[in-house]
Amino acid sequence: MDDPLSTWRGEFPIVQSTNYLISNSLGAMPKAARASVGRYVDLWDQRGVRAWADEWWVLKDRFADLCAGILGVPSGSVSMHQNVAMASEAILSCFDFSGTRNRIVYTELNFPSVMYLYEGQRSRGAEIVRVPGDAEGITVDTQRLLDAIDERTLLVPISHALFRSSFLQDVPAIVEKARRVGAFVILDVFQSVGTVPLSLREWGVHAAVGGALKYLCGGPGNCFLYVDPDERTRLRPAFTGWAAHKDPFAFSIDGQDYRDDGGRFLNGTPNVPALYAGLEGVRIIAEIGVAAIRENSRRLTAKIIERAQHHGLKVRSPLDADRRSGHVSIDVPDGYEVCQALLAEDIIADYRPAAGIRLSPHFYTLEAECIEAVDRIAAILADGEHLRFKGKAHQPG
């Protein structure tokens, strides 16, 4: 079958020289990002401090509104942050755990970084409720999660797509239960934004975090926080700074006077270089449209699963495309070492414990590349090519 979005491949240099199947970890860099970063450097070089007034200061809001369109939320309801932990802390700092409604409910299959953050709230009086996944660590039983959300629940921070398995949780059902009992949902969309269409406003999500690092092809340092416009004005983040002030350049010492829009959740000086680096990738995703990307992703991930089953490899992702995000996990013996053998051949994938080798095609991926990657996993195992990586220190990535 033809690859309908392959005309975009020319915009991404790395796909010309590698089989790039790791967009759920780091999306490929668009070639236009180099010129965009160059503009940042030129402004700093030629305009100095005047660059703030020229465009640096407002770039964070421009970037945020571009993300808002992809998230399905209103302009002015998103703020930019350096990482998801900081974005999560901005919304988390609005809440008090000293009362009887002090529970934080999430699943044990959430991304560990945010679990560390929420578990740290025990010192502020929070009670943590971790809902287990299934025996395989692939899915979470929705009813089991819903049963854990009750009138004692304050926050429900959950992942839309699970980072190990790519399982998509039933967000509307979770939000409906949370709203019914007065709990506040914080949805992590990092593993779905840019490859699964999102309608956060329509779903009734209270808040959401995510970033441009993965399927948005925007590189590190560009994460976002969305807060429902109907909720935000009652929220006063303790984790704050001058960028959240209505008049930041007044340098008032009379306390924080929060912005009325999504910018009330900002804190310090924006990460300007990252914003320039990330802008072009997010713009391309918006231009293509996530609906078209999703259709292509479903086809390519299905092909990976089909090929893995052909070779008798264990798939640790949902077989139902409606419950699967943008990657497929294949669990094999010596998975880390097999992944290193793939990387040595410029087949770019990653390995995660309790998941396996993760393959994530994107709109610039060819079907033939998906087939090649799975075939090489099977061949590497059969020939023992991975054994040369045994005993070597694990590398980041």
Asked whether residue 1 carries a pLDDT value surpassing 60, the answer given is: no
pLDDT band at 286 (very low <50, low <70, confident <90, very high): very high
Q: Which of the four pLDDT bands, split at 50, 70 and 90, describes residue 387?
A: very high
Q: Give the pLDDT score at 22.
A: 98
Instruction: Provide the pLDDT confidence category of residue 122 given band limits of 50, 70 and 90.
Output: very high
- Residues 338 and 13: their CA atoms lie apart, in Å, by 25
Task: Estimate the crossing angle of helix 335-344 against helix 367-383, to 10 degrees.
Answer: 120
- Over residues 268-276, the mean pLDDT reads 98
Residue 393's pLDDT is what? 83
Give the model confidence (pLDDT) of 301-324 as tens digits.
999 999 999 999 999 999 999 999
Mean pLDDT of 97-112: 97
Q: Which residue has the higher pLDDT, 3 or 378?
A: 378
Residue with the larger pLDDT of the pair 3 and 371: 371
Give the rounded percent of residues in the chain with a pLDDT score beyond 70: 99
pTM: 0.96
- The pLDDT assigned to 87 comes to 98
pLDDT of residue 242: 96
pLDDT digits (tens, 9 = 90+) for 174-230: 999 999 999 999 999 999 999 999 999 999 999 999 999 999 999 999 999 999 999
Domains of the chain: 6-24+289-389 (3.90.1150.10), 33-286 (3.40.640.10)
Q: Residue 34 forms beta bridges with which residues? A: none
The pLDDT of residue 176: 98
Query: Which pLDDT belongs to residue 33?
Result: 98
Return the bridge partners of 347, or none: 19
**pLDDT band, very low/low/confident/very high, at 3 (cuts 50, 70, 90):** confident
396 pLDDT band (50/70/90 cuts)?
Answer: confident
Task: Compute the distance between CA of residue 375 and CA of residue 51 in angstroms, rounded to an integer.
Answer: 51
**Cβ count near 41 (within 10 Å):** 11
